[in-house]
Amino acid sequence: MGGVHDEDELRARIIEFLGASTRNGLYRTNGLVKVVDLGNGRRLDSKGVEDAVNARSQRDISPYVLALCNGRAATLILGSSELLKLRATLLLGLGEARFLTSDERRVAFARTYRVYVPAGRKALEGIDQFRDRYQDVRRVEREEVIATVADIIMELLTSQQPSVDIVGSKAPWAYEIVDAQDDYLYPASVEGQVRTVIRRRTIRSIAPAITEFRQTYSDRVPGGSMPEARNVGQGRLTIQNLRPYEENGAPGYRYDIVISFPPLQRGKTLEIGWLLTHQLTKRDQWGPGIVHRVQLTPAVPIGKLSISVRFSPPLVPSNIWRVDNVAPQNIIEVEARGEALTPTQDRVQAVWEGVTLGRACGIVWNWPENLH
């Protein structure tokens, strides 16, 4: 690093980079800003910022992100490091917040300062009623959060041994998915039965060498048990960071699928796969009128995605639709429905080319009236 003026200029460039990313989030910002040459052309990017923010606290703040978005957090009981991590995550669209809309992130960010939508309203209702106060908070506090994150990054950049994990490479991921297939099988009844899904991925390394595949998944299984996983491809599979997860009032689980394998060199591909089994219970939550779905929201580039669902008579829906590239939280909305799908031998399938990062694709349906 150079003198004071060099450091001031570097900090100003970091602040400009962060500030320009608050509207759409860092993971939806196409441009990269070269922060400093560390000898091998490394750049500060979305992954680098996220690593810097996460390094301040090991606590998982994802439940707070969802609670604030849904208006269920009356108070925040967090230490200063955790609160900073939460605010930066929301403001910059990191972690769980990368899949929220800009309005959802802004409202949740404002709520960290105890600015709330009027009681009884949904997350985005009543925005106009408190927009003036919300803007007041954001003008004052937004710059403070950005400046603090910039100071954290500067501290890392000016240390004697900058961390490779903190100063990211050009791409925020080490591999891309060439082909993804999710094949679901639903039982003939619900109570005491199991649902299975086989997920297959063909991955291509875009780093010098990678040794693991890691992706976070959410399974919305009303009343169901924790998923059981079995490897059906190459490598060694483990489930990590399993935690309860709630979406739109429906319980489920969020977890990381990790598959380890020998070093995969840049440009080489590998086929992996795993089978997940869920025990189904509480039949009442699967009744007529309940919209059900299977979906995928990619966090890394996917070339081709295929999702299929095989139903077991008599539990075969009469109304099934595909959903293309929508906000994940809107996938069950009527307005999101695309082409109607007709089962062939009790099976439906949808295929997508070039799925958009952070947008959900999937299949939705209503269970039949004679569900049993």
pLDDT tens figures, 308-367: 999 988 888 878 999 998 877 778 887 778 899 999 999 999 999 978 777 889 999 987
Q: Could you read off the pLDDT of 2-18 as tens digits, one per residue? A: 444 477 877 887 888 78
Question: What pLDDT, on the 0 to 100 scale, is given for residue 39?
Answer: 37
Distance CA 368, CA 167 (A): 52
Q: Residue 343 to residues 118, 197, 291, 336, 346: CA-CA distances in angstroms?
A: 45, 18, 17, 20, 5
CB–CB of 246/202 below 8 Å?
no
Q: Residue 137's pLDDT is what?
A: 58
Lowest mean pLDDT among 93-102, 161-170, 262-271, 313-322: 161-170
Look at residue 190 in the predicted model and tell me its pLDDT. Answer: 65
Query: How wide is the angle at C-alpha 340 spanned by C-alphas 338 and 346, nearest 5°?
Result: 135
Whole-number Å distance between alpha carbons of 333 and 329: 9
**pLDDT classification of 220: cutoffs 50, 70, 90:** low
Of the candidate ranges 106-115, 119-128, 168-177, 240-249, the one whose mean pLDDT is the lowest: 119-128
| pLDDT number for residue 124 | 43
**What beta strand segments (E) does 32-150 contain?**
none
Domains annotated for the chain, with CATH where assigned, are 4-157 (no CATH), 175-366 (2.60.40)
